[in-house]
């Protein structure tokens, strides 16, 4: 059984994960519009991965006898000034999510809710991976600068992603 405060915060995180999925879907639409098929494909899989994260929160809330409460999902940004700006936004968003996960872990320890702390551990690892992956892509954009052939090659590289990660962090 979880506290009412924890139930509220886990529901809030479920909404944040759905928003993450929605944000990356909007980025996918942006990349589709720019004919950057590899980046669009990367965002498609990222959208699916975030949905898996959301379902992990959904299932956990149910499993511990809580009540899932769905709220409206915030409208995501529609466009970006460049492909690099979109990935920089993705990194900023992942850092925000890391902060949210850390807040939840702190709350679990404060409440001596060890089951929720253990559940959240997976997300702690996952956020390390999420930030690392997106940060490497941002670094590639920095190396490319304004070189169109570099953008072409990066788009090609990102098209190689072929899994939503099944929601499992690699380590």
Shortest distance, position 144 Cβ to ligand OFO, whole Å: 24
- Residue 155 binds ligand OFO (CB under 6 A): no
Site track 78-107 with ligand OFO (rule: CB under 6 A), x = hit = ----------------x--x----------
Sign of CA dihedral 52, 166, 140, 25: negative
Shortest distance, position 129 Cβ to ligand OFO, whole Å: 9
Which position among 7, 9, 50, 113 is part of the footprint of ligand OFO (CB under 6 A)?
50
Long-range contacts of 47-51 (CB under 8 A, 24+ apart): 47/21, 47/22, 48/21, 48/164, 49/164, 49/165, 49/167, 50/17, 50/18, 50/20, 50/21, 50/24, 51/17, 51/18, 51/21
Toward ligand OFO, which CB reaches closer, 56 or 84? 56
Site track 123-152 with ligand OFO (rule: CB under 6 A), x = hit = -------x----------------------
Within the chain, where are the H helices? 4-33, 37-63, 83-110, 114-144, 148-158
Shortest distance, position 98 Cβ to ligand OFO, whole Å: 8
Site track 9-48 with ligand OFO (rule: CB under 6 A), x = hit = --------x--x----------------------------
CA distance 62 to 76: 28
Shortest distance, position 116 Cβ to ligand OFO, whole Å: 17
Residue 67 contacts by C-beta under 8 Å, 6 or more apart in sequence? 7, 61
Which position among 28, 44, 53, 84 is part of the footprint of ligand OFO (CB under 6 A)?
53
| Token pair 């551990």 in the structure block, residue | 121
């Amino acid at each position: 059984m979880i506290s009412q405060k924890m139930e509220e915060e886990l529901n809030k995180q479920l909404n944040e994960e759905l928003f993450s999925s929605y944000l990356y879907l909007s980025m996918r639409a942006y990349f589709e519009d720019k004919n950057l098929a590899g980046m669009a494909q990367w965002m498609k899989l990222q959208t699916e991965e975030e949905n898996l994260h959301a379902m992990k929160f959904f299932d956990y809330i149910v499993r511990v006898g809580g009540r899932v409460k769905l709220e409206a999902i915030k409208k995501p940004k529609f466009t970006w000034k460049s492909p690099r700006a979109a990935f920089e936004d993705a990194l900023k968003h992942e850092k925000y999510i890391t902060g949210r996960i850390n807040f939840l872990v702190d709350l679990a320890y404060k409440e001596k809710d060890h089951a929720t702390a253990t559940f959240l551990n997976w997300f702690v690892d996952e956020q390390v991976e999420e930030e690392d992956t997106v940060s490497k892509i941002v670094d590639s954009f920095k190396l490319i600068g304004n070189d169109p052939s570099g953008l072409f090659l990066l788009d090609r590289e990102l098209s190689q992603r072929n899994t939503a990660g099944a929601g499992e962090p690699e380590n």
